[in-house]
Amino acid sequence: MEESVYKNRFILLIVLISCVFFFQRSGLPKEVTPGKNLDEVLAEIEKANNAFKTLKADMTFTRTITLLESTEVFQGQMSYKKPKRLYLKFYPPRNEINVVDGKHVWVYHPAEKQVEKYDMDRDKQTSQGLSFFEFGYGESVHSVKKDYTITLFETMDEGKKRFYILDLLPKDKKSQYSDIRLWVEEGFWLPVRIELYESAGEVVNRIELKNIKLNKGMSDKLFIFEVPRGVEIIEPLK
């Protein structure tokens, strides 16, 4: 059951596109527009966060255990709606549906005819994970600063895109993750890649979002999980 509990945690942590242009002069090296400092990046994130209400994207989740030289990759699609609503469907072979309705987390395994149910108020790590995920996707910068020490780890240019990599160190030493890194794309100003480090970096969880669509119509019914007939409800943390 520990593996089942772990599976839910990363999904909650779980979330756009613009370009920085390089200017090329004949016979001269490329000139790059100057980057922003940490305060400027956080201010842009706050503005982008205030502007969006819903998000839909394709997601790739990668979990690497360095000591075992093991890597697992899962593909899926997610929909998110403020506040605290998440629908995440993993394609086969994982074949799993996760729903966050604001009060509970549902993890549905169709092949096993079982659904795990978690109470967000009782499960502190689940709540912490969702709070982290909402940094840039619902949570204010001020709120996140209460739980994390934020630094600008690196500014990276990839082709015509520029990314600001933010490093978040949990102030709570008992946090599940020893370090968290957000890849924020300039122009869009929301995370497109999230890296979560466990066991001092021996385990790395990576969430990448692509084909992102913001503020599209999204029914509240999507975030209501109705238990299918014949499906067993399991409450691991009760």
Integer Cα distance of 11 and 179 in angstroms: 17
Contact of 129 with 88, CB cutoff 8 Å: no
Q: Compute the distance between CA of residue 189 and CA of residue 41 in angstroms, rounded to an integer.
A: 8
Domains defined for the chain, CATH in brackets = 2-15+35-234 (2.50.20.10)
Tokens of 7: 């599976």
Q: Residues 44-64: what's their mean pLDDT? A: 93
Question: Coil, strand, or helix at residue 33?
Answer: coil
Report the pLDDT averaged over residues 194-207: 90
Q: Is 135 exposed, middle or buried (0-12, 13-18, 19+ CB in 10 A)?
A: buried
Q: 83-119 pLDDT, tens per residue?
A: 889 999 999 999 999 999 989 999 999 999 999 999 8
